[in-house]
Amino acid sequence: MSAVAAELVDVRKTFGPTVALDRVSLRAYTGEVHAIIGGNGSGKSTLAKVISGVLVPDRGQVSIFGKSATTPAESKALGISNVYQEVLVADECSVMDNLFLGADSLFGTAEPHDVRHARARKIMAELLGFDLDPDTIVGDLPLSVKQWITIARSMLTNPRVLILDESSAALDFESTERLFRKMREMKAQGCAIFIVTHRIAELVRIADRATVLRDGVSVGTLEKDQITEENILHLIAGPERERAQSGS
């Protein structure tokens, strides 16, 4: 049985005159992939940050496993991890140091170095598809590898709610397959995963539920058997465009 992992009720978030989110309500469940889809600027990343507690909504409620968090630290303690759209790594540090950045404060006690080293090597091999020495300095690595490091870093915290914001944007088909394999593994362990994407074909392959945003407003959530390219395009376009296209 899946339980509600995240619930948003009537969330609104503005930036000055910009209404980034309005009237957004959704429910995401454990062991499911919940996709957030919408056009450029439709509020996807803002929604990801509201769920992960980085942004506080102007109105409405966000609860994670029935509890509301008011600071990013509280959200983290509830088991949320957000892989941001922007790739944030410390170039001068090793892969391993990047992977465990801040991990001590999260887990309380430090794991032995060789245990961490082995975990770092294993997850990077799973995600990258090749072996990477965890002692490599990150600076000169390709952007795609840096992106994998941010994904691996989140996964290593064993999140109960994982948010991937356009994490597959720069990945080719095979790499995306490796990411999806890892996501399915985490799902099986009960993790709730949000994927923010604008790639409909990808979403159709992996999502169990999909919420569509149009200009910051949630225009619907599709369940697994309703998730088709056609249904999603229909929701993204909205009634005005449909009318314009049919000429009436």
Q: Which is nearer to Mg ion, 99 or 207 (CB)?
A: 207
Token digits of residue 227: 């998730």
Would you count residue 245 as binding ligand ADP (CB under 6 A)?
no
- Among positions 36-95, residues that touch ligand ADP (CB under 6 A) are 38, 40-46
Q: How far is CA 190 from the centre of its chain?
A: 15
Smallest gap from Cβ 197 to ligand ADP, in A, equals 10
Smallest gap from Cβ 45 to ligand ADP, in A, equals 3
| CA–CA separation, 18 and 7 (whole Å) | 24
Quick one: which of 30, 45, 218, 221 contacts Mg ion (CB under 5 A)? 45
The partner in contact with residue 41, picked from ligand ADP, Mg ion, none with C-beta cut-offs of 5 to 8 angstroms by kind, is ligand ADP
Burial-class residue 176 by CB neighbours within 10 Å (0-12, 13-18, 19+): middle
| CA–CA separation, 248 and 238 (whole Å) | 15
- Among positions 18-47, residues that touch ligand ADP (CB under 6 A) are 18, 20, 38, 40-46
Other CB atoms within 10 Å distance of the CB of residue 225: 6
| CA–CA separation, 21 and 15 (whole Å) | 10
Per DSSP, 58 falls in state S
Stretch that binds Mg ion, among 43-51, 101-109, 169-177, 182-190 (CB under 5 A): 43-51
Tokens 């008011």: give the residue: 70
Smallest gap from Cβ 46 to Mg ion, in A, equals 8
Binding site for Mg ion (CB under 5 A): 44-45, 85
Binding site for ligand ADP (CB under 6 A): 15, 18, 20, 38, 40-46
